[in-house]
Chain A
């Protein structure tokens, strides 16, 4: 069965550095998402991407964050000038949207540790 893949599985970075988290969504899906989950807390929405542009973003997704779909297959989340509180699991997801199976499928996540 097709799946969403994310790399790396674990990223350790120093505070103030930039990181890029990568995702390959399921190929026929149209909506792409980034969610994050701080350890012990709920899954939080960051941003969605549809038709090559951001379709919705949360208040968490400020100027520190950006997303890109550079080549039609990859979907990246860039975090500039990382802070300690950015440490979390970051999940990429994709969905066909409207249709028989509108559910979102999640990648295995990238654990980001900011030190």
Chain B
């Protein structure tokens, strides 16, 4: 079983739509959770860390459900500039030797 699994995508949505991405992780020792954004042929850039209580940054909301080993990212009022691949990334407790990447979910926001 893969360490991190994501919705395959692509998600094609109109501007202004709300879109949600899901991610599941297999190892219960996972402790740190992140969403990264990757534009075509560019490096992954941190979008937000995911905290136990859930957190919000402008139009972006991240949720963590430890019981179900599930992470989500909600984007409200989608902009054209949100078009990218969104990567779910996980690190294990007390082990920062490796960040585990999901395969990414591609988002296309259309005018």
Contacts and interface: CB of A to CB of B under 8 A. Distances in A.
Contact of A56 (B32, B45, B98, B102): B98
Q: Which of A44, A102, A109 has the most CB of B within 10 A?
A: A102
B42 A48 contact: no
Nearest to A98: B96
Nearest to B34: A103
B41 A89 contact: yes
A31 B103 contact: no
Contacts of A111: 41
Q: Which of A42, A43, A45, A106 has the most CB of B within 10 A?
A: A43
A8 to B, nearest CB: 15
B36 to A, nearest CB: 8
Interface string A46-70: 0010100001100000000000000
For chain B, the bracket of interface size reads 20 to 34
For chain A, the bracket of interface size reads 20 to 34
A102 B43 contact: no
B103 A42 contact: yes
A99 to B, nearest CB: 10
B43 A109 contact: yes
Given A42-B103, A48-B97, A56-B98, A91 B34 contact: no
A89 B43 CA distance: 9
A33 interface: yes
Interface of A: 31, 33, 35, 42-45, 48, 50, 55-56, 89, 91, 93, 95, 97-98, 101-109, 111
**Can you list the 6 inter-chain pairs with the closest CB atoms, starting with the nearest?**
A56-B97, A97-B96, A106-B43, A42-B103, A55-B97, A48-B97
